[in-house]
Structure 1
Amino acid sequence: MIGYDLTVLAMALAVTLFAAVVKGAVGFAMPMIMISGLASFLPADTALAALILPTLATNLAQALRQGPGAAIATTVEYRRLLVALCLVILVAAQLVPVMPQAILLATLGLPITAFALSQLAGWQLRFDAHNRGRAEILTGLVGGFFGGISGVWGPPTIALLISLDVDKRESVRVQGVVYLIGSAMLLAAHLGSGVADAETLSLSALLTPPALAGLWLGFAIQDRLDARRFRRWTLVVLAATGLNLVRRALTL
């Protein structure tokens, strides 16, 4: 792990473990926690590369929890969303190496802060689901842009599922499939952009075991905690880290 001292590695492992526990316990926010936390002490493009393999591994576990047949059926049903998402991730990812660090930090921090504060205020983004095909494509376009730059495409996906009144069990499966395929495309896109290279992927690989451990720990404590309170404090942490990224952007 040339280039990373033990303090940085310990901080990265702690951020990843916490993010994965949250994902297992409440089903969201792992990439947002990782990108906002890691980018607080690593370059933004390194933080983005570092989250790729942990999110890919945990999304695989989430997508297959109800079996491969259900995952395949979900892939077919939401094909329009997935095609739009993947195509835009490929394009947006190429912007990361050429974006000034200040703009990249602001692009990471502002959406995360807006999401966290809107959730704390009780406001939920919704799509017009009367035309489902158009709603899926719009979700893919929005999610793909922010996904390619930050690895975060959860909020528009969740907004679509709420708009379609999808039940909780299906919602978890759909999110797992969308995040899994998006993560695989993110890896491919940043292998092309140069953000994911031998050094950054070695860090990403190191963070994968604690991510899987945190995910299963989150699953285990899911029914034993006050999910609403835990979710609320998670949003507070997200808002604080998002604002810190914006502060860094303004001071560069």
Structure 2
Amino acid sequence: MYESSFFLPLVALAFFAAGGVKGITGMGLPTVAMGLLGTAMPPAAAAAMLVLPSLATNAWQLFAGPAMARLWRRLWPMLLGIVVGTAGGAALLVRAAPSWSGLALGLALLGYAGYALWAPPLSLPSRLEPWLSPLVGLTTGVITGATGVFVMPAVPYLQALRLDKDELVQALGLSFTVSTLALAAGLLAHGALRVEQVSLSALAIAPALAGMWLGQQVRARISAKRFRQCFLLFLMLLGLELTVRPFL
């Protein structure tokens, strides 16, 4: 696969598209990259390539805001749960047959897109945070480890905390950064993060950042609501294809 003349263009295109989505919406790079790459390679290999571009874009998002210390104090139980859950989930991603790990990835994409399209906004009372935060983190970690997708249920949970706009963007960056580092550690522990994959992951940083820059330029010129709807429908189609593939 790595020797194919189409492989590097595929990786560059996948991360350029994923970076563009992140530039427009503020999130979605791992989801789009895993979905696109998962159609052409085992999800464990796709997750290994995700590590450095995800770190580069999420670290920028994390450190761009002023509330990191406050968010860390508030969200550390969720972040700890992410680390613990990812460590266990990564074993599923590495050991499962590619077709079945692809099925799990497809279900994760369908679940996220369906929730984002049709679920009403949630609002959680602060009294639920102490016990709900680690549970959300643990669940997110297991899904992250098993599929390489960071969003469920951490994103709807963070949105339900009613943070202001800047804090929400930074909280997402914090969650995604911790998820990326935990996923990298899980893949490394299970022998699924090798030197050649790290090199390819480094090469993917440039198209991801280029796509992110272009997405930020496009964001001011299109309807964010309409783009979000089209993006989520695209994720549903991609998730459906990955879900039915093992049965064909």
TM over 0.5: yes
- The residue identity in structure 1 corresponding to 2:40 is F
Judged with a 3 Å threshold, the aligned counterparts in structure 2 of structure 1 residues 126 and 147 are, in CA distance, closer, same or farther, namely farther
| TM-score where L is the length of structure 1 | 0.91
Q: Which residue of 1 aligns with 2:168?
A: 171
Q: Which residue of 2 aligns with 1:7?
A: 6
Aligned positions of 1:68-147 closer than 5 A:
70-120=67-117, 122-124=118-120, 126=122, 129=125, 130-147=127-144
Determine whether 1:181 maps to 2:181: no
Q: How far 1:3 sits from its partner (Å)?
A: 2.6
Measured on the aligned residues, the alpha-carbon RMSD in Å equals 1.8
Aligned match for 2:241, one of 232, 241, 244: 244
Q: Any conservation in 2 of the 1:8–1:41 contact (CA below 8 Å)?
A: no
- The residue identity in structure 2 corresponding to 1:15 is A
Unaligned runs of 5+ in 1: none
- The residue identity in structure 1 corresponding to 2:196 is E
Judged with a 3 Å threshold, the aligned counterparts in structure 2 of structure 1 residues 213 and 99 are, in CA distance, closer, same or farther, namely same
Aligned match for 1:209, one of 206, 210, 214: 206
* SS of match in other structure, 1:225: coil
Q: Any conservation in 2 of the 1:17–1:213 contact (CA below 8 Å)?
A: yes
Q: How far 1:204 sits from its partner (Å)?
A: 1.3
- The residue identity in structure 2 corresponding to 1:207 is A
C-alpha offsets along residues 157-187 of structure 1, whole Å, 9 cap, x if unaligned? 2211222222222110100011112211211
C-alpha offsets along residues 110-169 of structure 1, whole Å, 9 cap, x if unaligned? 12112213333x214758544111121121011000111222222312211222222222
Q: Any conservation in 2 of the 1:127–1:135 contact (CA below 8 Å)?
A: no
Unaligned runs of 5+ in 2: none
Q: Which residue of 2 aligns with 1:233?
A: 230
> Matches of 2:139 and 2:62 in 1, distance apart?
22
